[in-house]
């Protein structure tokens, strides 16, 4: 075929279309946790540099960037490199970008690069008198900074401080406020507190590792389904494992869809990063003793996604011999295990009855553990019924306690 200018143009257009199609596909194939982890890896060093330059905690900067830019995926971040939702104001002389916010077509600052956005964000807070009180706070007191930013009028969302603090806690962002040699001590303290909280909630003490492994931490890491993971050693403490790899225990438990240490056994794979939306294979045939939890773990696919792909209600278990989809959604429902066929698993009891759900309104002093005992359920079943990732409760929350 003769190569003409028109043909080259068509090929170029097709290539550009293909590139952006694949880019969009990769974005939508990511979980929110994956997006946030990638964002942190990409911008944490800049946030730390800005902390030393201006005195703004790196955790606060990262949390604001994650929330304001939807982990770098918002149109404002993609088209204008604006990660913090900073509007033009009267003093701005650079490029601008129109974007709907509180009002339509508001003027936002447009930057040459994300680095410029981070630097301008620091200068914006540092050089404006209304934020001066923030710099009287301890640089390690991220909660005071979060509440102060809201009080100073940085955002209109009445829950802005709560969102910042939750983001920092969920992704262990406070570690980036600390010097490198201080982080292990902080993680040890953080995970000790998480352990005490978990024992109080579930009543299950964690197995204490009497003889910590001498294996090199990095040598233990395996990449499975494009996720960093390790195999749990006999009598290994999840607390020590989390501290060794610089991750908060609550985040580690969230990434592994667990809420009780008893759900882990020696030889189980523990993921150090979020599991994926798709498994490592196309299909899985259910065998004796398997559960949705174990299948999710063994294929590196998020348990919620595994339920969605296979048109199953949370808490139900598939019958032995059923073929589950690990990548694409199936067209027909899965055959559910009979009660007598129940899998040996942590949530076999979550074979929920269909009907009008009974609700419980959380009051002062309630915990998931106390509510679970009241309704003769396990904490895990209660979490599964309410699609909860953590054991946190607030007064007034409505929980499904039967269906």
* pLDDT tens string 30-61: 788 999 999 999 999 999 999 999 999 999 99
Question: SS3 for 205?
Answer: coil
> Do the domains 31-177 and 358-402 sit in the same CATH topology, yes or no?
no
C-alpha dihedral, 314 to 320 to 321 to 327, nearest 10°: 30
Sign of the Cα torsion 86, 92, 96, 101 reads positive
Q: What is the pLDDT of residues 107-127, one digit of tens each?
A: 999 999 999 999 999 999 999
Does residue 9 or residue 59 have the better pLDDT? 59
- Provide the 8-state DSSP code for 354: P
Question: SS3 for 108?
Answer: strand
- Could you tell me the residue ranges of all domains in the chain? 1-30, 31-177, 181-271, 283-346, 358-402
β-bridge mates for residue 276, sequence order: 301
CATH topology of domain 31-177: Lysozyme (1.10.530)
Q: What DSSP assignment string belongs to 1-46? A: ----HHHHHHHHHHHHHHHHHHHHHHHHTS-HHHHHHHHHHHHHHH
Sequence-distant (≥ 6) Cβ neighbours of residue 260 within 8 angstroms: 198, 202, 204, 346, 378, 379, 380
Q: What is the pLDDT of residues 297-342, one digit of tens each?
A: 999 999 989 999 999 988 889 999 999 999 999 999 899 998 654 4
pLDDT at position 247: 92
Does residue 103 or residue 106 have the better pLDDT? 106
Give this prediction's pTM: 0.71
| Domain 358-402 superfamily per CATH | LysM domain (3.10.350.10)
Question: Of 25, 27, 40, which Cα lies nearest the Cα of 251?
Answer: 40
Give the mean pLDDT of 165-189: 91
Question: SS3 for 174?
Answer: helix
């Amino acid at each position: 075929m003769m190569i003409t200018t028109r043909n080259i143009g068509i090929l170029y257009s097709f290539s550009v279309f293909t590139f952006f199609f694949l880019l969009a596909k990769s974005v939508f194939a990511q979980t929110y946790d994956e997006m946030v982890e990638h964002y942190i890896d990409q911008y944490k060093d800049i946030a730390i540099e800005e902390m030393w330059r201006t005195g703004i905690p790196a955790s606060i900067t990262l949390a604001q960037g994650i929330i304001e830019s939807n982990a770098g995926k918002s149109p404002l971040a993609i088209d204008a490199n604006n990660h913090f939702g900073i509007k033009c104001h009267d003093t701005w002389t650079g490029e601008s970008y129109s974007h709907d916010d509180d009002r339509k077509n508001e003027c936002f600052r447009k930057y040459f690069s994300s680095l410029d956005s981070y630097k301008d964000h620091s200068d914006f807070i540092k050089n404006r008198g209304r934020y001066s009180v923030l710099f009287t706070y301890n640089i390690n007191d991220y909660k005071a900074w979060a509440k102060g930013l809201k009080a100073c009028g940085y955002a209109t969302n009445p829950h802005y401080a709560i969102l910042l603090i939750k983001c920092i806690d969920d992704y262990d962002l406070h570690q980036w406020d600390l010097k490198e040699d201080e982080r292990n001590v902080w993680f040890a303290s953080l995970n000790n507190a998480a352990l005490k909280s978990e024992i109080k909630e579930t009543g299950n003490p964690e197995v204490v590792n009497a003889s910590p492994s001498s294996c090199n931490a990095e040598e233990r890491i395996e990449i499975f389904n494009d996720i960093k993971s390790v195999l749990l050693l006999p009598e290994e403490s999840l607390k020590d494992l989390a501290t060794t790899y610089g991750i908060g225990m609550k985040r580690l438990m969230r990434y592994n869809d667990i809420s009780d240490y008893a759900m882990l056994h020696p030889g189980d794979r523990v993921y150090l990063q979020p599991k994926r939306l798709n498994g490592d294979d196309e299909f899985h045939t259910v065998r004796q003793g398997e559960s949705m939890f174990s299948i999710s773990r063994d294929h590196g696919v998020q348990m919620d996604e595994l339920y969605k792909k296979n048109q199953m209600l949370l808490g139900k278990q598939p019958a032995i011999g059923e073929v589950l989809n690990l990548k694409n959604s199936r067209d027909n429902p899965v055959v559910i295990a009979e009660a007598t066929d129940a899998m040996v698993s942590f949530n076999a009891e979550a074979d929920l009855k269909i009907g009008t759900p009974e609700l419980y309104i959380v009051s002062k002093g309630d915990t998931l553990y106390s509510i679970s005992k009241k309704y003769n359920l396990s904490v895990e079943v209660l979490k599964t019924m309410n699609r909860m990732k953590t054991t946190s409760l607030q007064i007034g929350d409505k929980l499904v306690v039967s269906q």
